Structure 1
């Protein structure tokens, strides 16, 4: 019995020893092998038992077959852009894939390494090639394409020439989103997808469509005033101010500000020095003449029956317009504002021809067949009392110079009347009640004392005889 047990132990010991020797020999052979272990493929190419150089050569051949043209294609509509791999720095990361394959069975202790090698023989291991690319080159390419593709949207516009109203259609814009397209392109490259890429181009809508303004068909109201073309600076300012309120579109409910439209009345903004009213006198100031443009617009607004939000009359009557129908502005504290109080858009146009300034308001004329008239009515007159005296050290006491003539003051009512086609008055409404204060005469008188037979005092207070 003991002998049989001993024999059994010897057999087991022999088997274990044999297995150990075999494992040792297998390990010595396998672990020292400098080639890629069996059961490993890269991108579907079997690289089992291949050394680095051979695996590299085989993969290069396979990669060439994957994309023989070595081109990428970008497309939008009928436009196509082709770029070679070299333009974008595209390359397959063969070296990294081989290094990954070679590392299998070569990490950890001897037992984990052997387990990995045996497992790979039976279960197989698939490694995928990664693609590298030059992102900055792709950004430059997309940037150049963007310049070709992008198109600024265009609003529908109203044109008014020779009394004719025309509507120019709107145009949709196009905008290539650089970041979105870069992400899609990079994702395709990482997936080794080299099929044509349709670029993402967004359509940009304009703010004003043709359907928004096709109700503008009529001249709602217009008004003109005349100016002296020989006053070069004032004429220049009038033309400049006209250009700043020309071709302006106001949607329903939108407000207009004269100060905002004209901008600062400075030389830097193009305005020149010309007479302006200051404290009841004409003095030189930058932007003289813009009030005449404001007044002309104000009358066109009244004739068009738009809602006036802010209006201030001048301190004294003007020569180019009836009292009660003028409007002044002063930067930062006096403005002329009105609102498009209609349920349809309107457009402003201004023209200067010769010495005539004319403002048109276009829209849908609800007063067609009717006549709208503005009438000023003086209800009170105020005569100036006394005079304003200014003393001069350079004039004799008996000398007197008139600097400013006296001006009467007035209380003026403005009415808007609407007449039918038959000439019958349909409606009369009071628009404003203005008071123009009277202006005293301004005189300059001397302070130097004189006597009949003697001259003025000299510097010592002694009379000098007159000869």
Structure 2
């Protein structure tokens, strides 16, 4: 009896233990299933985070499940051919220009629609997200809105509007009439404001633009040279005159062409003048002729001969206006129109005459060639000048010429014929003398240049016959 009872007890304990094991396994299984299910659902939810949720449509087309880039491609492909046709009138005063919707870059506001599509699920709870994915109950239909995006076409639109509406500013000009300074009035211009145009077009709905048009916005454009600035030119500061009455017709032509090129030149404060840049290349096409020029140490015939008289006359007028040139060279040989130390040689592509306006007012170069007399004057604010300036050249060395003999079998033996006379070379020191404008007192005598004019060789033919 005892053995039977003990056996029964053991069986009961074993049955209970087995039950516990089975129940434990069931619980573990359920927990594992729930964990797996939660993981799976969480993965699905996470997978939808960068996609449009179910229930969203754009223009009644289901777009759920699409990524942002895929949605953009889908919308462009589906709707870009459905854009409206229309025109927009741009007006300024009584003038107008009409552009088509296409000209103004009509498109749909795809980005706004995409933003709305992805914002649909932004505030969903986790449970709402699960419910919307597996059993979508909420719906959203987004209507595409047309808009202008003129950025790509702005250059063409701006060019056409500018040609129609822009008004160029008018610079003031200055001239000398009977010795008096005459300044013309400057005028401001009008220019379409490009940045305002872009914003105005892009911010206006196509329907409103088509119905009401767009009023063009302009901004004022100042002239480069105002009459107020040129009004500071009130009189003649300096002048210098040379003559070319004995010159050939060809040389006179060159002098006058170059003089006309610099006539009327205005230099603003700090602006530089380059003779070669202003006068330009001396070519036959521009009317220049062959005349005597100095090449090295000899006179030859060359294109543009005579223009150095213009540059040298200008140089003296500039010095007398209290302006020191930044580039200046003397000729290698003396000239007939200018004292030693007073000249300024120029040659296209190599030698230039350059100076800079040092004053706080503009200056004007005025030229006259009446009666084959070249007069160059510098005009400016005479009230701001309290000094006068002049040039003094002092010879400090004479360089003897050499003699070259050439045997000539056409001359009797021992007979000498001077083919070319020699001329001694000269070295001069060039000074600028500054005086008080009102008292004439010398304030300064400043050494500026050492000019050298080379000797010209004497040539003698000696007979050998």
Which residue of structure 2 lines up, in the alignment, with residue 103 of structure 1?
A: none
Which SS does the other structure have where 2:175 is aligned?
Answer: strand
Unaligned runs of 5+ residues in structure 2 are 1-56, 60-85, 109-131
| Offset at residue 139 of structure 1 (A) | 8.5
Which residue of structure 1 lines up, in the alignment, with residue 14 of structure 2?
A: none
| Offset at residue 279 of structure 1 (A) | 3.0
Deviations 1:100-130 (A, max 9, x none): xxxxxxxxxxxx9xx99x977xxx9674674
Which residue of structure 2 lines up, in the alignment, with residue 148 of structure 1?
A: 164
Q: Give me the CA root mean square deviation.
A: 4.4
Alignment partners' CA distance in 2, 1:157 and 1:351: 18
Deviations 1:390-434 (A, max 9, x none): 456877766655443211333334442536556x54335144443
| Offset at residue 361 of structure 1 (A) | 0.8
| Offset at residue 214 of structure 1 (A) | 2.7
Q: Count matched residues.
A: 363
Q: Of the candidates 365, 370, 374, which is equivalent to residue 382 of structure 2?
A: 365
Q: Which is helix-richer, 1 or 2?
A: 2
Which residue of structure 1 lines up, in the alignment, with residue 454 of structure 2?
A: 437
Task: Give yes or no for the alignment of 1:241 onto 2:258.
Answer: yes
Which residue of structure 2 lines up, in the alignment, with residue 278 of structure 1?
A: 295
Which residue of structure 1 lines up, in the alignment, with residue 192 of structure 2?
A: 176
Which residue of structure 1 lines up, in the alignment, with residue 361 of structure 2?
A: 344
Which residue of structure 1 lines up, in the alignment, with residue 13 of structure 2?
A: none
Which residue of structure 1 lines up, in the alignment, with residue 276 of structure 2?
A: 259
Alignment partners' CA distance in 2, 1:338 and 1:316: 23
Which residue of structure 2 lines up, in the alignment, with residue 165 of structure 1?
A: 181
| Offset at residue 180 of structure 1 (A) | 6.3
Cα distance, 1:294–1:230 mapped onto 2, change above 3 Å: closer
| Offset at residue 222 of structure 1 (A) | 0.7
Unaligned runs of 5+ residues in structure 1 are 1-39, 43-69, 93-111, 451-467
| Offset at residue 356 of structure 1 (A) | 0.7
Alignment partners' CA distance in 1, 2:150 and 2:436: 76
Cα distance, 1:401–1:154 mapped onto 2, change above 3 Å: farther
Which SS does the other structure have where 1:329 is aligned?
Answer: coil
| Offset at residue 160 of structure 1 (A) | 2.1
Deviations 1:351-393 (A, max 9, x none): 21121111111112268687654444444444x3441234568
User: What pairs with 1:358-397 in structure 2 (closer than 5 Å)?
Assistant: 358-365=375-382, 372-382=389-399, 384-390=400-406
Say if 1:229 and 1:354, in contact at 8 Å, map to a contact too. no
Alignment partners' CA distance in 1, 2:320 and 2:397: 25
Cα distance, 1:345–1:131 mapped onto 2, change above 3 Å: closer
Cα distance, 1:298–1:145 mapped onto 2, change above 3 Å: same
Q: Of the candidates 392, 416, 420, which is equivalent to residue 404 of structure 1?
A: 420
Say if 1:139 and 1:182, in contact at 8 Å, map to a contact too. no
Alignment partners' CA distance in 2, 1:412 and 1:264: 31
Q: Of the candidates 280, 305, 317, which is equivalent to residue 288 of structure 1?
A: 305
Say if 1:131 and 1:192, in contact at 8 Å, map to a contact too. no
Q: Of the candidates 232, 236, 239, which is equivalent to residue 219 of structure 1?
A: 236
Which SS does the other structure have where 1:307 is aligned?
Answer: coil
Cα distance, 1:351–1:150 mapped onto 2, change above 3 Å: same
Which SS does the other structure have where 1:247 is aligned?
Answer: coil
Cα distance, 1:148–1:440 mapped onto 2, change above 3 Å: same
Alignment partners' CA distance in 2, 1:292 and 1:198: 58
Say if 2:293 and 2:301, in contact at 8 Å, map to a contact too. yes
Alignment partners' CA distance in 1, 2:248 and 2:304: 13
